[in-house]
Structure 1
Amino acid sequence: MLRRIKGVRYLSSKYFPNEPTSPVVKTASVPGPKSKQINQELGQVYDNKATYFVTDYFNSYGNYISDADGNKLLDVFCQISSIPLGYNNPKLIEAAKSDEMIDAIVNRPALACFPSTNYAQILKDGLLAAAPPGMNKIWTSLCGSDANETAYKAAFMYQHSKIRGNKPFSEEELSSVMNNKAPGASEMTILSFEKGFHGRTFGSLSTTRSKAIHKLDIPAFDWPVAPFPKLQYPLEEFEQENRQEEQRCLNKLEEIIENAPKQIAALIVEPVQSEGGDNHASSEFFQGIRDITKKHNVLFIVDEVQTGVGASGKFWAHEHWNLTSPPDMVTFSKKFQAAGFYYSNPDLQPKDAYRQFNTWCGDPSKAILAKAIYQVIKQDGLVSKTANVGDYLYSGLQQLVNKSDKLKNLRGKNFGTFIAFDCVNADVRNKLLADCRLNGLNVGGCGESGVRLRPTLLFEQKHADLFLNILEKVL
């Protein structure tokens, strides 16, 4: 089924005039011999067990990733959703070569102690300009796990501050905390959902529930977990069943909060549970969560590390929910090439110095890249364009799923290019991913048998056609 769209102008050509018109596969296997050799050498000094193939980033371009053997694959995985504007985007290269960037890199500051003269403006023109509705403050951090970790710290300090009032720390608090004991060390908890993924540092890992291999052998906090809806597809055929499933999960959530032996400081949830299998839920479900957190004075943290920055057809995926009140915090990373969390309540910023703190507190160089990314997205209207190409891509996938006995549970309708489907089992999924690479397509898995799409914001209809043709051939 060869698809061709006539009369369509492609914005990607503006940035990548020499982008390949189709994938190039030169080797009989992917990874090829050179990639295997380099990876073997790397493995002698570095843990490389998760390597797909060794990448030649100098020759990766636009929507195509190049490997060490010269294969050029259409990339719809994009460094686990972290390449927003294609490989070697000239606007980002321009930002990288600026005097502002050179200063940020060679004089990397301890931001909390020695902020640069231009950091406020860098944030104002980029990360803060992109702030979710209802939010006007930011804390910058080092990665997605760190973003969630610092949001948890903010939640704990906020909740204890409410209890303490204007009183100073007691001698008992100051002495007990040095032995990791209450009352100085908090006994409050963070609630997360089954199949959720929030990172791999100690606090964030305690809220991660996607795969056992992520958590084995690591000490964890005894924090509560709530069920996340298991929707049935197609959605229009299971409306009543899915409503009942979501209500069951909301009822259980409230029951857990009401009966928790320790106070729940905050709840964290992804708009789509990405690593856990690209699990979706309705806007009504998330509004239900917001209502419950408001009722029980639990802070509501939305983890937009993977869903944020345009891929869902909204700049922030939680904008699809039309909440009656905004979340308390929204964490971000990946496509912004920077990390941190947004908020609006000034009380989420601790009153004493050095409480929310590390040496770098983020990185001005990453905030400069985020500024350049945001400006391209706004200038070229990439969020609405991603929504449109997502509709086109979903429609083509629907045709393939309908006639295939190997695919099921297509999801992500009206959600930009943040689309996924399941294979009938893990073996079929793993073979499909490998065969796609052999045919010039780099795509990633998630959950037990899921396939997730994470293309750039400059992924357009011509790329969607190539993707659909390759997938059909592989099937």
Structure 2
Amino acid sequence: MRFGVVLLPVTMATLLLRRQLGFSLHILRSSLSGCRHVSKAAPQAQMDWDYDGPSMKTPVPGPRSQGLLKQLGEIQNVDAINFFCNYEESRGNYLVDVDGNRMLDVYTQISSIPIGYNHPALHKLMADPNNLSTFVNRPALGILPPGSFPDKVTESLLSVAPSGMSRVQTMACGSCSNENAYKAMFIWYRNKERGGSNPSATEEDLSSCMINQSPGCPDLSILSFMGGFHGRTLGCLATTHSKAIHKLDIPSLDWPIAPFPRLQYPLEEYTRENAAEEARCLEEVEDLIVRWRQKGRPVAGIVVEPIQAEGGDNHASPDFFKNLRNIARKHGCAFHVDEVQTGGGCTGKFWAHEYWGLDDPADIVSFSKKMLTGGYYHKDELQADKGYRIFNTWMGDPSKNLFLIEVLNVIRRENLLEEVRRSGKALLQGLYALQEQYPSLLSSARGQGTFCAVDICDDATRTKILLKARDKGVLLGGCGDRSIRFRPALIFKEYHVALFLNIFNDVLAQLK
């Protein structure tokens, strides 16, 4: 199927975008049903299950969403809800709400939809009667896994395991993945202190842990970074430092917090300044490790994101992470790379840490979101030494492994990592052009693959941009103090980029 094109009237910004993106754009004066000021690239082969553009029928939230908000508000807190969705009608890169508004989704459920809404391959999987029992029955995997589980984990998760790792522990979500990864690091560290890979705990260890006392509950710590986000469960919150709303009123732990580099963008234009900033932060990391050991709270592990997503899409160079990995080795700390948000292909490589070029990048790599299931990969020595030490009732869901197998098949068959790199380049070039056109509004465009962001002049303007973009049929998300982040599905193509950029340009022109 091929489709026509609808574009904004030509402006200098549009021409600049056209040059930057290298698109040959057709200018047509027509309108999609209910859709205002929409733009696309030259006619291209469209996925036959994707829509051809946004279509807005009501303000958002519309009347039906508002009624549902009131209904649900009698049951639970609804302050964070944007609107209610019609997932049956959502397709590809487009999310449809209960009022019939169809929006180009460049946020994808907080970066967690890998191959778009209602992908035919996943529908086919659901329709296969051989998979019925996997969807109907959810076993307690730690004690009663299905017979197919080893093969399915091998076919799904182990087929994309990070370099040097052949073990994976499944979990349900990002927070519980990190929470249990922390436990694994503490167990590993204490076993080292006891002098072996499987030493016996003492009677004092066993009795003191029951009353939350040392030595059974040791005073160990995990070093994290300011701006990092690792989850909202109690242990993860001690390493989360992105927004006060996550942490307010929750007791926490006295663990070290290092500064994360605050780099200048584009990175290639500020190599000297950025190198000095990274050196400063690495020096502080080492100093904190020494100070916390002196305090009697040794650092058992370091946790870091390849790109600080929730905290503002903060980047660091491969050299920074290589040196951080070496510091962890030097001080006997486990090195935990949190790929919950960056994993699954959105940066143009399957794992963002692949850009570091290390054969031994980490001791633990956690994942969730685009991987559809949660969990963490780990080195052999971080295997729990006894049953029930890393445990909960479900420990994941076998049906999600089936979905992941098919998602990986689609990624390989359609060469989606190359698609992400191509679309990401077009998106970033377009953001560069827009920040040149609107320097009072935009700055510091940055990204890897389609995992991109741009800073807005202030938080209030960012809110206006997000709402105006939504009114025109584009869903975006914020991060950090004043950034907008872009988190499309892996099937987001160059013509989707052109469509988005022209709508975004229209929003910015209204605020200039």
1:19 aligned partner, one-letter code: D
Distance 1:94 1:133 in 2: 32
Change (3 A) 1:5 1:97: farther
Pair 1:294 & 2:329 matched: yes
Alignment of 1:129-148 (within 5 A): 129-148=159-178
Aligned to 1:461: 494
1:21 aligned partner, one-letter code: D
TM-fit CA distance, 1:324: 5.0
Alignment of 1:433-444 (within 5 A): 433-444=466-477
Aligned to 2:460: 427
Change (3 A) 1:112 1:5: farther
Indicate conservation of the 8 Å contact 2:258/2:288, yes or no: yes
Pair 1:204 & 2:204 matched: no
Pair 1:406 & 2:438 matched: no
Deviations 1:42-67 (A, max 9, x none): 11112211111111111111000001
TM-fit CA distance, 1:242: 1.0
Pair 1:271 & 2:306 matched: yes
TM-fit CA distance, 1:133: 1.7
Change (3 A) 1:22 1:302: same
Change (3 A) 1:87 1:10: farther
Pair 1:303 & 2:333 matched: no
Alignment of 1:24-423 (within 5 A): 24-27=55-58, 29-166=59-196, 167-260=199-292, 261=295, 262-343=297-378, 345-404=379-438, 405-412=440-447, 415-423=448-456
Distance 1:124 1:379 in 2: 19
TM-fit CA distance, 1:25: 0.7
Deviations 1:374-394 (A, max 9, x none): 111112111111011111111
TM-fit CA distance, 1:9: 8.9
Secondary structure of the equivalent of 1:301?
A: strand
| Count of residues in Structure 1 that have an aligned counterpart in Structure 2 | 468
Secondary structure of the equivalent of 1:105?
A: helix
Deviations 1:239-260 (A, max 9, x none): 2111111100001111111221
Indicate conservation of the 8 Å contact 2:204/2:216, yes or no: yes
Deviations 1:412-462 (A, max 9, x none): 1xx100110010000110000000001110011111110000000000011
Bigger radius of gyration among the two: 2
Taking structure 1 as the reference length, what is the TM-score of the superposition?
A: 0.96
Indicate conservation of the 8 Å contact 1:419/1:452, yes or no: yes
Distance 1:334 1:5 in 2: 35
Deviations 1:264-308 (A, max 9, x none): 111100011111111111111111101101111111100000000
Secondary structure of the equivalent of 1:128?
A: helix
Indicate conservation of the 8 Å contact 1:126/1:375, yes or no: no
Indicate conservation of the 8 Å contact 2:164/2:359, yes or no: no
Indicate conservation of the 8 Å contact 1:5/1:461, yes or no: no
Aligned to 1:451: 484
Distance 1:374 1:402 in 2: 38
Secondary structure of the equivalent of 1:268?
A: strand
Aligned to 2:4: none
2:194 aligned partner, one-letter code: R
Indicate conservation of the 8 Å contact 1:5/1:462, yes or no: no
Distance 1:45 1:143 in 2: 24
Taking structure 2 as the reference length, what is the TM-score of the superposition?
A: 0.89
Indicate conservation of the 8 Å contact 1:26/1:70, yes or no: yes
2:272 aligned partner, one-letter code: Q
Distance 1:361 1:431 in 2: 41
Aligned to 1:21: 52
Q: Once structures 1 and 2 are overlaid, which stretch shifts more, 317-326 or 426-435?
A: 317-326
Indicate conservation of the 8 Å contact 1:278/1:446, yes or no: yes
Distance 2:249 2:123 in 1: 41
Change (3 A) 1:402 1:307: same
Indicate conservation of the 8 Å contact 1:85/1:457, yes or no: yes
RMSD: 1.6
Distance 2:130 2:413 in 1: 21
Secondary structure of the equivalent of 1:313?
A: coil
Identity of aligned residues (%): 46
Q: Which runs of 5+ in 1 are unaligned?
A: none
Indicate conservation of the 8 Å contact 1:393/1:464, yes or no: yes
Indicate conservation of the 8 Å contact 2:344/2:370, yes or no: yes
TM-fit CA distance, 1:105: 2.8
2:50 aligned partner, one-letter code: E
Secondary structure of the equivalent of 1:207?
A: coil
Secondary structure of the equivalent of 1:472?
A: helix
Distance 2:417 2:70 in 1: 40
Change (3 A) 1:8 1:119: farther
Distance 1:431 1:150 in 2: 39
2:392 aligned partner, one-letter code: N
